[in-house]
């Protein structure tokens, strides 16, 4: 079934809230949240589109009255709410379940009597089952209700009088409820007041995002308090501590993530939602949440960052500055992956740039300055175009409500954009807005992937960056490009996705083939820089992600997402391994090595494992995701898939060649005594990655389970834009 | 009748009255005390500005409604009040900037009264210009700003660079003023009025507007005068030379103060008189004459040329001069769209720009003082090498100002630019989108030269690793200027709402 039609068809939606009634759904994140059909004889609340609700959208021009003319304010009622949000925290046991209540006070601070004509909440229990969705696993849905208890009706408040309004929630099957209560009054200035109603709003994601920020502040402030006593080691352990918090949250997320929770189940498949307003008058919200599209990325980011902290032990120059930037980078990365407000997303996206610039530029290799500015300029050039696309999309969104019930003429809410807006109708210079916006967003994201021909910043950045930053760059930052394409291009602009999907596939294959040959060239003809080899190998492997998602089949989609995760693990391992040998020999030229297996057997095993995983050896994680991608892409893009499969041979060739040159053959006596075996700290960073690579190679189900539902929903959403929707509901790994 | 009214006019005129009193006091004090210590002049100036701002706040509180003063020569409205307040803050900061600047060192001995009186007079000109609603007051205001600016630019009579700058400024300024005055006379001829409100009545009629070649020519000439004041391309040639040659505190003042006035008068004349939403002018536009297109070209030219020219600069003052030309281009976008969003975005952007640009200049002043010498003013980029190690606090603050100028979140410059671009995109249409694309690519381009400074400070090893100690009088204002830059990047709801209220009514 087409998602859009399903929501537009919610029966009660149109009655009170006008044609945009369905929009409230996005705010009421209960399993089924349908707008209340209240007393039909009452006038509808202020339509969102009315100009009066806008901040100063007119300029009055003309002669001012001459000075001396007195203007006096007429006495008027003035309605004030006691709070901007109601927390439904008081538990009230009822026969077989528990209800929750919360209160709100409205007060008249004006000089004349205030008429409150109506009080309403925007979620109605009676409609909860009318939507017809049933939870999977055979659970019968218990309805969610939120009511005024008792309903105050219309009432009059004398000056300085106040009235308490109580809300009662019967949660039913809902895990989180976001709604709002609104008052209609005759206050001439603010006739419509509203407050957010939230139940079980979690703050885990905020905790994950902002604990590194707290660490950053500590690093800045503690030297003021402790002076020289604040040693570099303390900085390092502080960094370990604050990066452990997101890791713990991510692991908790892994255990608690409801695998069957999809758009059809409710809440648009989102879990751990955090939803508040940031800049209310300008419709910018603080909106976080995870679903199948980003849950893996949160895990990956927290995990890789934690490992990278240990890999950063070798940084001895300006340690405080390094970790301050490192933690800021983690804030940006985590925020980017969980932000569901487009503006917020952009802020996090850009926040990442600065620390990356400094991390490469200050702690990097000899040519670091060039690499850093190249990275910065490339990414910024892409992201400013993305910003324009965001602005254009924003101004073409339908009116809706913020989470606290305020009327929003336009919205940055990504979920709202995805499910309740169609950008294909608006035109700019004869071009469909959705197409232009798609291109703008894609340019921003594809530079990050990086997609051929915008990839040239990547080898430079990798070669110059210190090892842990290379790890983060390859394992996390590149994924932001593909994540962004899935979340924004695919989900929010499905019609344009169909228009451009063949190019995604084509460039995916170009990435695969070009990256593989370029990596090969590093061994054969170029400067034989191992890091450059791994960098081009990343270009190649990100191509699989693009090919898989372009296929738009369950296998392809799951494969793409799983490949993002696997590439994070494998490229992380590879860069760490390169770092190990570079620390010992200060060279990365493969020709300088040989026979290292005898000197460093454990290291050889680990590096070997990483290279094998990289070439897609069956039994290791990379194989599963690449196989899924091929499986998914073959029916859709047969030629491309064949080409990509051929590139796998090249991949195998350069991986094995590198292995041979480094570890087999004659030992280079130059390094005698300079290449001690891999040490404990280095193993600590590599072993968890290696274990996961092996484990997931045999048993990928826990990971595939997490994304399966989300990917199926995403495919449905993209297909919703097709003239004839052909819903694909089966998915692998379930 | 008139006497009564004049009294109530004067009630609105307190901020200006206090300024004039202050100017006279500063000069008189010098005569009486002979020679008056610089501290006295500076204290009097700051006191005057604070008094003027307090007066403005009082007027604002007691008479919040817009009012027409002196028979329509001037107006009191929030829009004017904003520009006056911003000008007062800028001037106060300029006084602070000049306090320990290398170039104004000799003021300790003599000449401080003239300097401060000139600064105050320029401020008075900006005040007048911000609320002028008659071609006469506009011209008087503009000339007050210009004349005092010429003298301030050449404040160092013996410095050849300064003299050259002042001469260039006078010649360019004279030509621009002449052209503008000619344009104004044509406007008068075409409309038969000098009051903006009457001019508007003459050109905007309900039935639509006929294209008038005379008006076109007049408007173009007036644009020359205004564009000269804000240093927009192609009337920017004086700017880098004057900025480089003038004492840095004066340069800092020039980069904000007169521009404020320029934008205020630009909005009042072009948005106020030659624009009528819904009317049909030439080409179906709602402007009376295609001034939006002209300004659009000026805007694109300013940002592109400013940024391209800044790429190769190694003198900090010149670099910031070209950067300010580019920023004029961004701000003009808000005027080109001629919507409330655009105007509010201008107001908001100017606030952020004031803080970040003065912050950057303050660093230049502080650096010149600590590292400059008689032969080498210490303005070259190489002096900044390794500043991240030598003076981490100042280096980090400068990085904040520069990244904010680039427009990176989460800093105020990003929010300001965002709303400028948003207003352009919201307007819709191919040309506006093209303007936005050019603007935003320029924004990315500008990163190169801003980051170049950051690179020199943080990524390059210092030649001389000894720490640089900065005076408190420099570091404290720097931190104070960084606060709004950062805070406005994180939370800008109320200030932006205030900007919208500021442009709610534009008196004519």
Between positions 660 and 689 of A, the ones with CB within 8 A of B are none
Question: SS in 3 state form for A310-343?
Answer: HHHHHCCCCHHHHHHHHHHHHHHHHHHHHECEHH
pLDDT of residue A514: 95
Q: Under an 8 A CB cutoff, do A350 and B271 touch?
A: no
Closest-CA distance, B67 to chain A, in angstroms, reads 5
Chosen for mutation from A53, A54, A57, A63 (greatest number of chain B CBs closer than 10 Å) is A63
Length of chain A: 734
Residue A536 near residue A522 (C-beta atoms within 8 A) = yes
CA distances from B96 to A573, B101, B112, B119, B477 (A): 55, 9, 13, 12, 8
Please tell me the distance from the alpha carbon of residue B61 to that of residue B504, in angstroms, as a whole number.
Answer: 17
Chosen for mutation from B428, B457, B506 (greatest number of chain A CBs closer than 10 Å) is B428
What is residue A666's DSSP assignment?
A: -
Q: Report residue B438's pLDDT band, with 50, 70 and 90 as the boundaries.
A: very high
For residue A315, with 0-12 CB atoms within 10 Å meaning exposed, 13-18 middle and 19 or more buried, which class applies?
buried
> With b meaning 16 or more CB within 10 Å and e meaning fewer, what string describes B35-63?
ebebebbbebbbebbebbbebbeebeeeb
In the numeric block, the tokens 């009421």 are attached to: A28
Q: Tally Cβ neighbours within 10 Å of residue A669.
A: 8
Q: Tally Cβ neighbours within 10 Å of residue A238.
A: 21
> With b meaning 16 or more CB within 10 Å and e meaning fewer, what string describes A538-550?
bbbbbbbbbbbbb
pLDDT greater than 60 at residue B260: yes
Structure tokens at A433: 């807005």
Between positions 313 and 352 of B, the ones with CB within 8 A of A are 340-341, 343-344
Q: What residues form DSSP beta bridges with A93?
A: A98
Please tell me the distance from the alpha carbon of residue A453 to that of residue A475, in angstroms, as a whole number.
Answer: 20
Q: Does A51 touch chain B (CB under 8 A)?
A: no
Which residue would you say has higher pLDDT here, B6 or B77? Answer: B77
For residue B481, with 0-12 CB atoms within 10 Å meaning exposed, 13-18 middle and 19 or more buried, which class applies?
buried
What is residue B134's DSSP assignment?
A: B
Name the helix (H) or strand (E) containing B69: strand B67-69
Closest-CA distance, B192 to chain A, in angstroms, reads 17
Q: Tally Cβ neighbours within 10 Å of residue A252.
A: 13
Length of chain B: 508
Question: Alpha carbon B426 to chain centroid distance?
Answer: 26
3-state secondary structure of A685: helix
pLDDT greater than 80 at residue B284: no
Residue of chain A whose Cα is closest to the Cα of B267: A61
Q: What residues form DSSP beta bridges with B252?
A: none
Residue A478 near residue A542 (C-beta atoms within 8 A) = yes
A·B CB contacts under 8 A: 158
Q: What residues form DSSP beta bridges with A339?
A: A288
- CA-angle at B444, arms to B440 and B445, nearest 5°: 110
pLDDT of residue A20: 36
Please tell me the distance from the alpha carbon of residue A592 to that of residue A587, in angstroms, as a whole number.
Answer: 8
For residue B140, with 0-12 CB atoms within 10 Å meaning exposed, 13-18 middle and 19 or more buried, which class applies?
middle
Identify all chain A residues contacting B491, using CB atoms and an 8 Å cutoff.
Answer: 278-279
Residue of chain A whose Cα is closest to the Cα of B403: A354
Please tell me the distance from the alpha carbon of residue B294 to that of residue B235, in angstroms, as a whole number.
Answer: 13
Q: Report pLDDT digits (tens) over B40-84.
A: 889 999 999 999 999 999 988 888 888 888 888 999 989 999 999
Closest-CA distance, B5 to chain A, in angstroms, reads 7
Structure tokens at B159: 């410095």
Residue A197 near residue A305 (C-beta atoms within 8 A) = no
Q: Under an 8 A CB cutoff, do B440 and A354 touch?
A: no
pLDDT of residue A526: 67
pLDDT of residue A721: 81
In the numeric block, the tokens 């609320």 are attached to: B131
Contacts of A398 (CB under 8 A, 6+ apart): A20, A23, A411, A420, A421
Which residue would you say has higher pLDDT here, B328 or A1? Answer: B328
Name the nearest CA neighbour of A387 among A353, A426, A347, A359.
A347
Half-sphere exposure of A718 (CA within 13 A, CB side): 27
Average pLDDT for residues B175-181, to the nearest whole number?
94
Q: Report pLDDT digits (tens) over B29-41.
A: 888 887 778 888 8
Identify all chain A residues contacting B417, using CB atoms and an 8 Å cutoff.
Answer: none
pLDDT of residue A141: 60
Average pLDDT for residues B270-282, to the nearest whole number?
74
Q: Tally Cβ neighbours within 10 Å of residue B423.
A: 27
Please tell me the distance from the alpha carbon of residue A630 to that of residue A550, in angstroms, as a whole number.
Answer: 12
For residue A260, with 0-12 CB atoms within 10 Å meaning exposed, 13-18 middle and 19 or more buried, which class applies?
middle
The separation between the first and the last C-alpha atoms of chain A, rounded to the nearest angstrom, is: 20
Identify all chain B residues contacting A347, using CB atoms and an 8 Å cutoff.
Answer: 409-410, 414
What is residue B269's DSSP assignment?
A: I
Closest-CA distance, A374 to chain B, in angstroms, reads 9
Per run of 10 residues, the mean pLDDT along chain A (length 734 residues) is 35 34 36 33 38 54 70 76 86 86 90 88 46 41 78 87 89 80 87 87 92 94 86 92 95 88 78 89 91 92 95 90 95 96 95 93 90 93 92 91 87 90 84 92 94 92 94 94 95 93 95 94 82 94 95 94 95 94 88 86 94 93 94 94 93 93 86 86 93 94 90 90 53 37
Structure tokens at A636: 């859709």
pLDDT of residue B112: 84
Q: Tally Cβ neighbours within 10 Å of residue B462.
A: 17
What is residue A731's DSSP assignment?
A: -
Within B192-286, residue ranges assigned H as helices are 196-203, 213-230, 238-245, 248-266, 272-273
pLDDT of residue A144: 77
pLDDT of residue A34: 33
Residue A253 near residue A292 (C-beta atoms within 8 A) = no
Contacts of A132 (CB under 8 A, 6+ apart): none
Between positions 376 and 395 of A, the ones with CB within 8 A of B are 376-377, 380-381, 384-385, 387-388, 391-392, 394-395
Question: SS in 3 state form for B305-365?
Answer: HHHHHHHCCCEHHHHHHHHHHHHHHHHHHHHHHCCHHHHHHHHHHHHHHHHHHHHHHHHHH
Torsion sign over Cα A220, A223, A225, A229: positive
In the numeric block, the tokens 């020359």 are attached to: B224
Q: Under an 8 A CB cutoff, do A373 and B448 touch?
A: yes
Q: What residues form DSSP beta bridges with A271?
A: A290
Q: Does B47 touch chain A (CB under 8 A)?
A: no
Question: Alpha carbon B382 to chain centroid distance?
Answer: 28
Q: Does A366 touch chain B (CB under 8 A)?
A: no
Name the helix (H) or strand (E) containing B414: helix B412-427
Please tell me the distance from the alpha carbon of residue B4 to that of residue A393, in angstroms, as a whole number.
Answer: 55
Chosen for mutation from B425, B431, B443, B482 (greatest number of chain A CBs closer than 10 Å) is B425
Name the nearest CA neighbour of B309 among B231, B221, B408.
B231
Residue A273 near residue A288 (C-beta atoms within 8 A) = yes
Within A97-191, residue ranges assigned H as helices are none
Q: Does A368 touch chain B (CB under 8 A)?
A: yes
Identify all chain A residues contacting B437, using CB atoms and an 8 Å cutoff.
Answer: 385, 388
- CA-angle at B9, arms to B6 and B15, nearest 5°: 135
Q: Under an 8 A CB cutoff, do A279 and B496 touch?
A: yes
């Amino acid at each position: 079934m087409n998602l859009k039609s399903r929501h537009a068809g919610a029966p009660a939606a149109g009655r009170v809230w006008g044609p945009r009634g369905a929009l409230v759904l996005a705010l009421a994140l209960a399993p089924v949240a349908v707008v209340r059909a209240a007393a039909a004889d009452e006038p509808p609340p202020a339509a969102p589109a009315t100009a009066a609700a806008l901040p100063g959208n007119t300029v009055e021009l003309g002669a001012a009255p001459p000075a001396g003319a007195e203007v006096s304010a007429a006495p008027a009622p003035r309605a004030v709410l006691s709070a901007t949000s109601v927390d439904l925290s008081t538990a009230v046991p009822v026969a077989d379940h528990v209800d929750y209540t919360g209160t709100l006070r409205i007060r008249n601070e004006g000089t004349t009597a205030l008429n409150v004509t109506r009080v309403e909440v925007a979620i109605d229990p009676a409609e909860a089952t009318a939507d017809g969705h049933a939870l999977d696993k055979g659970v019968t849905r218990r309805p969610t209700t939120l009511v005024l208890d008792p309903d105050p009706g219309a009432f009059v408040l004398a000056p300085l009088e106040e009235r308490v309004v109580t809300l009662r929630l019967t949660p039913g099957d809902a895990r989180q409820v976001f709604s709002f209560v609104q008052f209609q009054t005759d206050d001439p200035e603010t006739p419509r007041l509203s407050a957010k109603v939230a139940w079980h709003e979690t703050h885990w994601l905020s905790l994950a995002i902002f604990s590194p920020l707290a660490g950053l502040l500590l690093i800045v402030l503690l030297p003021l308090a402790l002076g020289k006593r604040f040693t570099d080691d303390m900085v390092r352990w502080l960094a370990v501590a604050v990066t452990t918090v997101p890791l713990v949250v991510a692991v908790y997320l892994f255990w608690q993530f409801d695998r069957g929770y999809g758009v059809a189940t409710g809440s648009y498949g989102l879990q751990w939602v955090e939803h508040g307003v940031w800049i209310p008058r300008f419709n910018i919200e603080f909106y976080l949440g995870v679903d199948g599209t980003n849950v893996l990325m949160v895990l990956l980011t927290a995990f890789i960052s934690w490992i990278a902290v240990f890999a950063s032990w070798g940084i001895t120059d300006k340690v405080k500055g390094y970790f301050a930037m490192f933690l800021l980078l983690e804030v940006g990365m985590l925020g980017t992956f969980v932000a569901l407000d487009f503006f917020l997303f952009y802020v996090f996206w850009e926040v990442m740039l600065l620390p990356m610039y400094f991390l490469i530029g200050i702690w990097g290799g000899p040519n670091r300055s060039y690499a850093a500015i190249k990275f910065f300029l490339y990414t910024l050039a892409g992201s400013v175009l993305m910003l324009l696309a965001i602005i254009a999309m924003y101004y073409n969104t339908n009116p809706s409500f913020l989470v606290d019930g305020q009327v929003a003429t336009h919205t940055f809410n990504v979920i709202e954009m995805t499910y309740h807006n169609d950008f294909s109708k608006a035109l700019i210079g004869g071009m469909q807005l959705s197409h232009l916006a798609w291109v703008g967003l894609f340019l921003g994201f594809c530079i990050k992937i990086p997609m051929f021909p915008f990839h040239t910043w990547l080898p430079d950045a990798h070669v110059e960056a210190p090892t842990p930053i290379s790890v983060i760059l390859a394992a996390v930052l590149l994924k932001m490009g593909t994540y962004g394409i899935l979340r924004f291009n695919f989900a929010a602009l499905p019609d344009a996705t169909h228009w451009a999907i063949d190019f995604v596939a084509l460039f995916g294959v170009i990435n695969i083939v070009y990256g593989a040959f370029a990596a090969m060239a590093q061994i054969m003809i170029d400067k034989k820089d191992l890091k450059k080899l791994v960098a081009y190998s990343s270009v190649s492997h990100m191509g699989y992600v693009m090919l898989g998602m372009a296929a738009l089949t369950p296998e392809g989609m799951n494969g793409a997402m799983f490949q993002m995760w696997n590439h994070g693990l494998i490229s992380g391992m590879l860069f760490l391994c390169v770092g190990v040998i570079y620390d010992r020999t200060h060279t990365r030229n493969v020709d300088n090595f040989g026979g290292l297996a005898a000197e460093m057997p454990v290291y050889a095993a680990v590096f070997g494992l990483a290279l094998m995983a990289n070439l897609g050896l069956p039994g290791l994680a990379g194989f599963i995701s690449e196989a899924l991608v091929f499986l998914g892409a073959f029916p859709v893009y047969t030629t491309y898939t064949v080409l990509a499969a051929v590139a796998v041979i090249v991949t195998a060739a350069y991986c094995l060649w590198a292995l041979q040159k480094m570890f087999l053959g004659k030992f280079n006596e130059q390094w005698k005594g300079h290449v001690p075996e891999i040490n404990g700290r280095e193993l600590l960073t590599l072993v968890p990655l290696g274990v996961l690579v092996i484990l997931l190679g045999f048993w990928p189900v826990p990971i595939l389970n997490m994304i399966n539902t989300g990917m199926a929903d995403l495919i449905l959403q993209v297909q919703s834009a097709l003239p004839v929707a052909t819903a694909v509901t089966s998915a692998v790994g379930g | 009748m008139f006497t009564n009214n004049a009294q109530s006019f004067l009630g609105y005129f307190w901020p200006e009255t206090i300024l004039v009193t202050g100017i006279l006091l500063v000069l008189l004090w010098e005569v009486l005390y002979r020679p008056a210590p610089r501290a006295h002049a500076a204290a009097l100036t700051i006191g005057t500005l604070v008094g003027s701002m307090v007066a403005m706040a009082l007027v604002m509180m007691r008479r919040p409604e817009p009012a027409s003063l002196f028979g329509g020569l001037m107006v009191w409205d929030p829009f004017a009040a904003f520009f006056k307040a911003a000008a007062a803050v800028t001037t106060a900061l300029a006084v602070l900037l000049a306090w320990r600047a290398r170039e104004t060192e000799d003021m300790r001995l003599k000449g401080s009264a003239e300097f401060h009186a000139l600064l105050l007079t320029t401020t008075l000109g900006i005040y007048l210009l911000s609320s002028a609603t008659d071609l006469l007051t506009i011209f008087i205001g503009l000339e007050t700003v210009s004349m005092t600016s010429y003298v301030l630019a050449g404040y160092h009579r013996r410095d050849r660079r300064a003299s050259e700058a002042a001469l260039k400024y006078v010649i360019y300024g004279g030509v621009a003023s002449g052209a503008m005055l000619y344009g104004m006379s044509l406007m008068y001829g075409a409309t038969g009025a000098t009051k903006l409100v009457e001019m508007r009545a003459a050109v905007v009629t309900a039935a639509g507007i006929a294209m008038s070649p005379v008006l076109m020519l007049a408007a173009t000439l007036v644009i020359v005068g205004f564009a000269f004041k804000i240093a927009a391309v192609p009337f920017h040639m004086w700017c880098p030379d004057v900025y480089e040659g003038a004492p840095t505190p004066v340069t800092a003042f020039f980069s904000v103060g007169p521009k404020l006035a320029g934008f205020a008068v630009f909005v009042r004349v072009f948005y106020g008189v030659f624009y009528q939403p819904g009317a049909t002018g030439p080409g179906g536009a709602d402007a009376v004459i295609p001034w939006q297109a002209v300004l659009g070209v000026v805007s694109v030219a300013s940002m592109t040329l400013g940024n391209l020219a800044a790429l190769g600069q190694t003198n900090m003052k010149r670099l910031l001069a070209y950067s300010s030309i580019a920023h004029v281009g961004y701000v003009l976008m808000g005027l080109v769209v001629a919507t409330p969003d655009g105007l509010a975005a201008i107001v908001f952007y100017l606030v952020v720009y004031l803080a970040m640009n003065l912050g950057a200049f303050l660093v230049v002043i502080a650096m010149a003082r600590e590292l400059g010498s008689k032969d080498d003013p210490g303005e070259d980029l190489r002096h900044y090498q390794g500043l991240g190690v030598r003076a981490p606090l100042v280096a980090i603050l400068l990085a904040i100002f520069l990244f904010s100028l680039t427009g990176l979140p989460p800093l105020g410059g990003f929010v300001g630019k965002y709303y400028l671009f948003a207003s352009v995109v919201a307007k819709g249409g191919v040309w506006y989108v093209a303007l936005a694309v050019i603007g935003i690519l320029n924004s990315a381009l500008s990163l190169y030269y801003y980051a170049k400074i950051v690179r020199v400070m943080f990524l390059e090893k210092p030649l001389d690793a000894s720490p640089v100690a900065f005076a408190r009088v420099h570091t404290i204002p720097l931190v104070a200027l960084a606060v709004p830059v950062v805070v406005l990047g994180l939370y800008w709801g109320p200030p932006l709402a205030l900007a919208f209220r500021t442009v709610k009514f534009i008196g004519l």
